[in-house]
Amino acid sequence: MPANSVGIVEPKSHTFPGPFKLACGRVLDEYTLRYETYGTLNADRSNGVLICHALSGHHHAAGYHSTSDKRPGWWDHYIGPGKPIDTNKFFVVALNNLGGCHGSTGPASINPQTGRPWGPDFPPLRARDWVHSQAQLADLLGIECWAAVVGGSLGGMQAMRWSLEYPQRLRHCVVIASAMKLSAQNIAFNETARQAITSDPNFSDGRYLENNTLPRDGLAVARMIGHITYLSDDGLGKKFGRELRSGTFEQGVEELVEFQVQSYLRYQGDSFSGSFDPNTYILMTRALDYFDLAREYDNDPVKAFSHARCKFLLVSFTSDWRFAPERSREIVDALMHANVPVSYAEVESPMGHDAFLLPNERYEKIFSAYMDNVAKEGQSGVLS
């Protein structure tokens, strides 16, 4: 194990009794959340950090499940001893959201009322449903107030929702590469991905588990569509250019040509389609589409953020065109007009939206400096 790894971690599960009322009006009789923790909760339970995952994320954010794992958790570069979210200082909680497919109750789970998989009958969810379930997890862990709630992309939306739904239960809100609502273009990309899934003959109207089928081809295409939007033209160009994986353009030779980028996208799609539930992908992209932080506040983000009581860090990346820096600056402007303390950094990166997951020296320094201040503030017991 690397010296700065949290090491071998064991996921936990907890089933919460209902009734749990959802934003759509439906009620779950009970639900299970799968989660992991890293670090040690201090005596006054003030050093908790909640990690809200992005669209295809889950509870395994750092460390390894076994010595044979080829890869660590999805945000391992930023969680661990001496890392920006330092597990020598913080007790870190990462979970698989309600509706997920990695151990939490979701469309692939058994509906207790029918004894069959929920499938397309699983209730539609909103970001506030995730936040309310996360609050119940905080109660279970005895955490009355988070030192910070942290998230990138869809996770950033959840973090912002935390600041409005439970303003007294977090001291800091870290929002990375996110937005207060999706643009029409982003909604269009998500709909195209959903159509790829539902058009697969094996989708079976969402009841593929009951029919022992799986719309792998459709889900693979959906992932390819999404993955393209997470990258930048510059990043793809530097990584692949027009390099060939096979074939030739030699005159007089008839041979099928395959570009390296084609092979890469197919690999990403095939890998994802074997590990993610298609109905969950549909559910989570819809929740992403539905999110609009200011909708219930007369569409006024300043009015929305006037309810926040925490401090904010916003980070964006120059080449991120799916959640462009302009979207982060909109959040910053609204926070400033609401007189809410906010720090903002726009980080140079050629890696597009995925930059929030990848190594970047300036990003790491900014993130580390902010979280160090969060830790010091907790030690002193005084707001900095």
The catalytic residues are 153, 320, 353
Residue matched to tokens 């889900």: 219
Residue matched to tokens 């609502």: 181
Closest of 293, 311, 288 to residue 303, by C-alpha: 293
Two tokens, residue 329: 């600056």
Inter-residue contact 346 to 318 (CB < 8 Å):
yes
Residue matched to tokens 């299970």: 32
* Residue 214, helix vs strand vs coil: coil
- Other beta carbons within 10 angstroms of residue 318's beta carbon come to 17
Two tokens, residue 138: 């905080």
Could you give the C-alpha distances from 66 to 109, 225, 239, in angstroms and in order?
A: 25, 32, 31
* Residue 120, helix vs strand vs coil: helix
Q: What is the C-alpha separation between 122 and 30, in angstroms, rounded?
A: 13
Alpha carbon 189 to its chain's center? 17
DSSP secondary structure code for residue 127 in this structure: H
- Which residues are known binding-site members for substrate? 223, 354
